[in-house]
Structure 1
Amino acid sequence: MPSPYSYDLRIRALKMIDEGILITQVSKLLKISRDTLHRWKNRRDHTGDVKARFGYQTGYNHKISDMKEFQKFIDQNPGKNHQQLADLYPVEMSAKTMGVWIKKLGYTRKKRASDTKNVMH
C-alpha cells in the first residue's frame, strides 16, 4: 500500500480550496486526484481534521495461533490425509490450508510406493 500524503500537503490543499480555487485546479497543481481532495474535505467536515488513518491494517488472521499445539496434533494423527486432519482440527479450515500449515512444519506428504521394476516386453 502506498504511503499516505503528508499532513502538510493535506492542509495546504484544503486551504487552497477554502480560498476559492476550484478542486480541479488544485488537483492539477498538486497532482492529487479530485476524489482524494473530496475525501479530505469530507473528512475535515466530519472529524475536524485531515490526518491520515492508521492502525486499520491488521493483516491476516491466521487459522493456527499455537504452532507447538498444532505440531502435537499432527504427531498424534499420523497416516491421515489433509482432509481428515482438517475435519478433526478444532478450528475450521480447508484441506489446502491444512496442507500449507503442515508444509510450514517441514513435513512432507505421504508418498506411494512405486513399482521400481522396469519391465520390458
Structure 2
Amino acid sequence: MPAAYSYDLRKKVMEALDEGESGETVAKRFKIGKTTLYEWKKRREKTGDFQSKKPGSVGYNHKITDWNAFTEFANEQGGKTQSEMAKLCGNISRQTIHRALKNIGFT
C-alpha cells in the first residue's frame, strides 16, 4: 500500500479548490487522481477535515471479553458441542467458541 499524501499537500489542494479552481485542473497540477481529490472533499464534508485515515485494519469486535467467566463456563459445559455452547452463550458463533476454547487451552 502506498504511503498517504502529506497533510501539507492535502491542505494546498483543498485551498486551490476553495479558491474556485476546477477539480480536474487541481488534480493535474498536484499530480493526484481525481478520485483521491473527491474522496478528500467528501471526507472534509463528512468530518470537517481531510486528514488521512489511520493505516491498518480495525479488527473485529470481540464477543468474549471476560476470560475468567468463559473458562468457568467451558469447565461447566465441557461435555457439550461447540454449537450447543454457542447457543447457550447467546449471540456467538460456533467459530468464536472454537477460537475461545483454543485461546484458554481447553481440549
What TM-score does the superposition give when structure 1 sets the normalisation length? 0.64
Which structure 2 residues correspond to residues 90-101 of structure 1 after superposition, within 5 A? 91-101=90-100
Larger Rg computed on CA atoms: 1
SS in 1 for 2:32: coil
| Residue identity opposite 1:37 in structure 2 | L
Residues 2 and 102 (structure 1), Cα distance of their counterparts in 2 relative to 1, 3 Å cut: farther
Q: Which residue of 2 aligns with 1:24?
A: 24
Structure 2, unmatched stretches of 5+, are: none
Matches within 5 A, 1:31-50: 31-44=31-44, 46=45, 49-50=48-49
Root-mean-square deviation (Å): 3.1
Percent identity over the alignment is 35
Query: Could you report, residue by residue, the CA deviation over 1:61-81 in whole angstroms, capped at 9, with x for unpaired residues?
Result: 111010110001001112111
Distance 1:51 1:29 in 2: 19
Indicate the SS of the match to 1:69. Answer: helix
Q: Larger relative contact order (C-alpha < 8 A, sep ≥ 6)? A: 2
CA distance in 2, matches of 1:73, 1:66: 11
Q: 1:67 to 1:10 in 2, by over 3 A?
A: same
8 Å contact kept, 1:11–1:50: no
Cα pair distance change 1:3/1:104, threshold 3 Å = farther
1:103 is matched with: 102
Shift of 1:86: 1.1
Q: Distance in 2 between matches of 1:23 and 1:75?
A: 62
The equivalent of 1:15 in structure 2 is 15
Change (3 A) 1:54 1:42: closer
Give a deviation string over 1:29-78, Cα, whole Å, max 9, x none.
4332212212333555x4795342768x8642111010110001001112
Alpha carbons of structure 1 residues 49 and 75: separation in structure 2 relative to 1, 3 Å: closer
After superposition, the Cα gap between the structure-2 partners of 1:65 and 1:47, relative to the gap in structure 1 and judged at 3 Å, is closer
1:87 aligns with 2:87: yes
Greater helix share, structure number: 2
